[in-house]
Amino acid sequence: MTNPIHVAVLMGGWSNERPVSLMSGNGVADALERKGYRVTRIDMDRDVAARLAETKPDVVFNALHGVPGEDGSIQGLMDLMGLKYTHSGMVTSVIAIDKELTKQRLVPHGVPMPKGTMVSSASLFEADPLPRPYVLKPVNEGSSVGVAIVKDDSNYGNPIARDAKGPWQEFDNLLAEPFIKGRELTTAVLGGKALCVTELKPKSGFYDFDAKYTDGMTEHVCPAEIPADIEARMLELALQCHTLLGCKGASRTDFRWDDELGLDGIFVLETNTQPGMTPLSLVPEQAKHLGIPYEELVDMIVKEALA
């Protein structure tokens, strides 16, 4: 049966996460075609407004990752054009991609997050901003792009050497946070409901960009093997972050859990408003665990955007 609804799937773009976005977008487009939607695939370039105006979709499925698909830019453009689109709106996107703004929004409401401080990259070559181990990350990149963990035994030097490879070579300012030892967990929210908790066990190092998107580099334990009170708290926090930030469609909140501290060891790292939709991605995996197949998942996201 043909569905007369016309969906433009927006993917690609020019961020560091372009390859992932193309995988997400093509997966979504294939699934929507199987559901009978009329689908137009748009690999975003600088003429995206003209392409969207030409396409005249009923709704846009935003499968972009990173800037400008996740930071409010494309959302503002589509708002101006009067287009309906999936996932979060402009204001939410602006706040959620910025780790410092996210903290300002969530921490006053009791959401536990690591205490962070903004530092200039140049200052790192003089002295450490925090006691080691600590984490340095760009304030507005997703998918663990440009994250460095600075330890006593890291080969960055002490203080960090100017020629050491790291985010300080790409970004003028970075967010420094204490390193939280323990386990990496994540929870998706869909249709106003937290799905489940997945533990991520990278085969080596930490859960960085390569570990996220290279098959076999990270083991996903879904559902996570954690105590019931920890699971319940993470589901509650993920839904709280989704609601406080004003997310729509699917979101995914990432946690570190120091299991020696029990409930006091849970820390929210960030909420992702444009979670991946690739075959390795966590939202489709959690949905599948709850009996929601991939086609139904993308259909639900489109229907919420249309509503």
Active site residues: 17, 143, 213, 252, 254, 270, 272, 276
Helices (H) and strands (E) in the chain, counts: 9, 12
Amino acid identity for residue 15 in this structure: S
At residue 214, the 3 state secondary structure works out as coil
Q: Which residues make beta-bridge pairs with 221?
A: 199
- Residue 200: is it exposed, middle or buried by C-beta count within 10 angstroms (0-12/13-18/19+)? buried
Q: How far apart are CA 184 and CA 200, in angstroms?
A: 5
Q: How far apart are CA 301 and CA 120, in angstroms?
A: 39
DSSP string of 116-139?
-EEEEGGGGGT--SSSSSEEEE-T
Residue 270: enclosing H or E segment and its boundaries?
strand 266-272
Overall residue count recorded for the chain in this entry: 307
Distance in angstroms (rounded) separating the CA atoms of residues 53 and 50:
5
Query: Mapping DSSP to helix (H, G, I), strand (E, B) and coil, where does residue 199 land?
Result: strand
CA dist., res. 248 & res. 88, Å (int) = 5
The one-character DSSP state at 263 is G
